[in-house]
């Protein structure tokens, strides 16, 4: 079993749609959580950190459920420019070794 | 303010050869981590350096080694290259004194082993 698991997709949605990605992590000692975005053949870029209380950044909302070891990302009003791979990430400890999921691919069509 | 820079951007090597990849961290960052990303996979942690020492290591063989210099820049060395070492190699940096601050990634070096 992978330490961080995601549905690989692709999710193919029309512009303006709301789409949700889910992710589970296996190590209950994980302390920090993030969503990164990766465009084709580019480096991952931080989209947002994920906090226990849930957090929102514009059209993006992230939530963490520690009891279920589950992380989610909600994208509202999808834009063509949101097309990318979204990587779910768990940080294991203060040494900051990050464990990445394999990514969920999103395609937003006109 | 320069971000994380890596060189070279692309590299083609033959099986059995050795390769050195280089990374300069973002200004103000003292910790460098290296990741390997195979096609269709998420990045896999190789190791992390700070204070010029390897502090944590992922599940990679000893063929993978590294170094950090006093100016915080870092090198990743891979010996006896295998076809399976073909991947995007990512360097990431952060400042250890800033708690759980996120990693900043460089553009990566795309290594092809033939």
Both tokens of B95, joined, read 């400042």
Across chain B, mean pLDDT equals 93
Say how far apart CA B112 and CA B109 lie, in whole Å. Answer: 10
C-alpha torsion angle, residues B48, B53, B59, B63 (rounded to 10): 120
Question: For residue range B47-89, what is the model confidence (pLDDT) as tens digits?
Answer: 999 999 999 899 999 999 999 999 999 999 999 999 999 999 9
pLDDT at residue number B101:
74
Query: If contacts are CB pairs under 8 Å, which of residues 86-105 in chain A contact chain B?
Result: 87, 91, 95-103
A-chain CB neighbours of B48 within 8 Å are 95-97
CA closest to A4 among chain B residues? B42
Say how far apart CA B114 and CA B112 lie, in whole Å. Answer: 6
DSSP conformational letter for B72:
S
Per-residue pLDDT at A74 exceeds 80? yes
Per-residue pLDDT at B100 exceeds 70? no
B5/A contact by beta carbon, under 8 A: no
B3/A contact by beta carbon, under 8 A: no
Q: Shortest CB distance from B45 goes to which of A41, A42, A97?
A: A97
A95/chain B closest Cα distance in angstroms = 8
Decide if B108 and A43 are in contact by the 8 Å CB cutoff. Answer: yes
Across chain A, mean pLDDT equals 92
Who contacts A47 (Cβ-Cβ below 8 Å, separation ≥6)?
A: A34, A35, A36, A37, A57, A60, A73, A86
- Peptide bond before residue A11 is cis, with ω within 30 degrees of 0: no
Both tokens of B113, joined, read 């082993």
Q: Shortest CB distance from B43 goes to which of A41, A44, A96?
A: A44
Could you tell me the CA-to-CA distances from B114 to B9, B19, B36 in Å, in that order? Answer: 17, 13, 17
CA closest to B33 among chain A residues? A97
Say how far apart CA B80 and CA B36 lie, in whole Å. Answer: 16
Task: Say if strands B5-7 and A98-100 run parallel, antiparallel, or are unpaired.
Answer: unpaired
Say how far apart CA B36 and CA B113 lie, in whole Å. Answer: 14
Weakest-pLDDT range from A15-24, A55-64, B94-103: B94-103
Query: If contacts are CB pairs under 8 Å, which of residues 52-81 in chain B contact chain A?
Result: 55-56, 58
Task: Give the number of residues written for chain A.
Answer: 110
To which H or E segment does residue A97 belong? none
pLDDT at residue number A31:
85
- For residues A18 and A32, the model is more confident at A18
Per-residue pLDDT at A97 exceeds 90? no
Residue written as token pair 């053949």: A41
B79/chain A closest Cα distance in angstroms = 23
CA closest to B47 among chain A residues? A97
């Amino acid at each position: 079993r992978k330490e961080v698991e995601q549905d690989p997709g692709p999710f193919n949605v029309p512009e303006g749609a709301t789409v949700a990605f889910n992710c589970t992590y296996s190590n209950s000692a994980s302390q920090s959580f993030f969503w990164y975005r990766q465009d084709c053949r580019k480096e991952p870029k931080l989209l947002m950190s994920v906090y226990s209380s849930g957090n929102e950044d514009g059209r993006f909302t992230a939530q963490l459920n520690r009891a279920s070891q589950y992380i989610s990302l909600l994208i509202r009003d999808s834009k063509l420019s949101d097309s990318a791979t979204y990587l779910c990430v768990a940080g294991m400890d203060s040494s900051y070794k990050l464990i990445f999921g394999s990514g969920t691919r999103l395609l937003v069509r006109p | 303010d320069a971000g994380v820079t890596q060189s070279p951007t692309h590299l083609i090597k033959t099986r059995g050869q050795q390769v050195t990849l280089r990374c300069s961290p973002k200004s103000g960052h003292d910790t460098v981590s290296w990741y390997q990303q195979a096609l269709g996979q998420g990045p896999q942690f190789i190791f992390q350096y700070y204070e010029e020492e390897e502090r944590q290591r992922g599940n990679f063989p000893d063929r993978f080694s590294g170094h950090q210099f006093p100016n915080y820049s870092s090198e990743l060395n891979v010996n006896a290259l295998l076809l399976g070492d073909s991947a995007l190699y990512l360097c990431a940096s952060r400042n250890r004194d800033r708690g759980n601050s996120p990693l900043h990634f460089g553009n990566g070096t795309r290594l092809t082993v033939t």
